[in-house]
Amino acid sequence: MTARILVCGGAGYIGSHMVRQLVERGYDVVVFDNLSYGNAAAIPQSVPLIQGDLLDTDALKALFAQNAFDAVYHFAALISVGESVSAPDIYYRNNVVGTLNLLDAMRTTGVERFVFSSTAATFGNPETPLIAEDHPKNPLNPYGRTKLMIEQVLADYGHAYGIRSVCFRYFNAAGADPSGEIGEAHDPETHLVPNVLLAALGARDGLDIFGEDYDTRDGTCIRDYVHVNDIASAHLAALEYMDANPGAHVFNLGNGDGFSIMEVIAAAEKVTGRKIPYRVGPRREGDAAILVADSSRAKALLGWSPATPDVETIIETAWNWHRAPKYGPFAK
């Protein structure tokens, strides 16, 4: 029988790439999304979209009563580090209470497999050049704390209720599906790669660089950019992994290479053939100086192998979507 998978947040950036991979592999997919940030057009027409909110427990009850899910992927969260510092209440409510509601709905209907989008922001400033899963967790912002809380909840729920889970700590998701049909856009856009490409397109008045006085090789923050489809492929492997391994599991997902903001700009200038205007401003609250992954656990235990580890290729896939008139952020 075809497995039926619930994808919460399936209309969002990472969720919509996940939905594509699941559909391509023949899974029966249902998307639950409040469309506060997601885009219904990013989901294939064959996939049912239930518009609803994780804070609406009646909607969740109905969803789980009407469908027998084999597993749940949870991508529906608020994700802006800076906003989480200025408005932590909505982050704790959406990311923590919303996830608890989802786990309650799973428990009451006997759904036992859960894949959770966690983040490198759970670590804080690293004590080692590469961050492995057991690195100390000292999140610098409420966003990171909401994700760490749910990781802890999942360990306890695994023990007490038999919920099997995999948490993926994404480093910096970037890039777009090679079809050029779906990609990354938020409103307002806060992420580096899309902002660099919007600046290349002249759709924004240059890039604002948040700080050049960090203790890094050029003073700007260093991140590990990982292709969105490589993140999705790890989630596919997680299904089988949970079958064989009860309990709660955590994996880092990154390429193990760090790029500064200036290096991302240089790579984007090469890919686009355009000059990217920028100005340097103050630091953004809640930012770590350097976040680079040690993903050897995902490679060893899930057989994960990123297909698109090169940062220029990652940016190129994003660029192909950004400039696609039919599908990009300015498609009508």
Residues that bind ligand UFG (CB under 6 A): 79, 81, 119-121, 171-172, 190-192, 195, 207-210, 221, 223, 261, 284, 287, 291
- Beta-carbon contacts of residue 126 (< 8 Å; ≥ 6 apart): 135, 288, 290, 291, 292
Name the nearest CA neighbour of 75 among 105, 36, 110, 46: 36
Distance, in Å, from the CA atom of 109 to the CA atom of 112, rounded to the nearest integer, reads 9
The smaller minimum CB distance to ligand UFG, of residues 168 and 210, is found at 210
Mark whether 143 is an active-site residue. yes
The smaller minimum CB distance to ligand UFG, of residues 61 and 274, is found at 274
The smaller minimum CB distance to ligand UFG, of residues 198 and 302, is found at 198
How crowded is the C-beta side of 170, counted as CA atoms within 13 Å?
22
For the bound state, the minimum distance from the C-beta of residue 165 to ligand UFG, rounded and expressed in Å, comes to 18
For the bound state, the minimum distance from the C-beta of residue 141 to ligand UFG, rounded and expressed in Å, comes to 9
Q: Dihedral angle at the C-alpha atoms of 51, 54, 57, 63, nearest 10 degrees?
A: 50
Q: What are phi and psi of 258, to 5 degrees?
A: -100, 140
The smaller minimum CB distance to ligand UFG, of residues 111 and 192, is found at 192
DSSP-assigned letter for residue 284: P
Name the nearest CA neighbour of 108 among 39, 161, 171: 161
For the bound state, the minimum distance from the C-beta of residue 25 to ligand UFG, rounded and expressed in Å, comes to 26
CB atoms within 10 A of CB 211: 17
For the bound state, the minimum distance from the C-beta of residue 223 to ligand UFG, rounded and expressed in Å, comes to 5
Q: One of 27, 143, 214, 225 is an active-site residue; which one? A: 143
For the bound state, the minimum distance from the C-beta of residue 274 to ligand UFG, rounded and expressed in Å, comes to 17
For the bound state, the minimum distance from the C-beta of residue 197 to ligand UFG, rounded and expressed in Å, comes to 11
Name the nearest CA neighbour of 74 among 60, 88, 61: 60
Pairing, β 222-223 against β 259-260: antiparallel
The smaller minimum CB distance to ligand UFG, of residues 284 and 299, is found at 284
Distance, in Å, from the CA atom of 291 to the CA atom of 278, rounded to the nearest integer, reads 22
List Cβ<8 Å contacts ≥24 apart for 235-238: 235/18, 235/21, 235/73, 235/115, 235/166, 235/168, 236/21, 236/22, 236/25, 237/302, 237/303, 237/304, 238/115, 238/166, 238/168, 238/302
Distance, in Å, from the CA atom of 309 to the CA atom of 94, rounded to the nearest integer, reads 32
Written as one string, the DSSP assignment of 88-116 is HHHHIIIIIIHHHHHHHHHHHHT--EEEE
The smaller minimum CB distance to ligand UFG, of residues 42 and 174, is found at 174
| Cβ-contact 191, 184 below 8 angstroms | yes
The smaller minimum CB distance to ligand UFG, of residues 195 and 272, is found at 195
For the bound state, the minimum distance from the C-beta of residue 14 to ligand UFG, rounded and expressed in Å, comes to 10
- Catalytic residues, which ones? 143
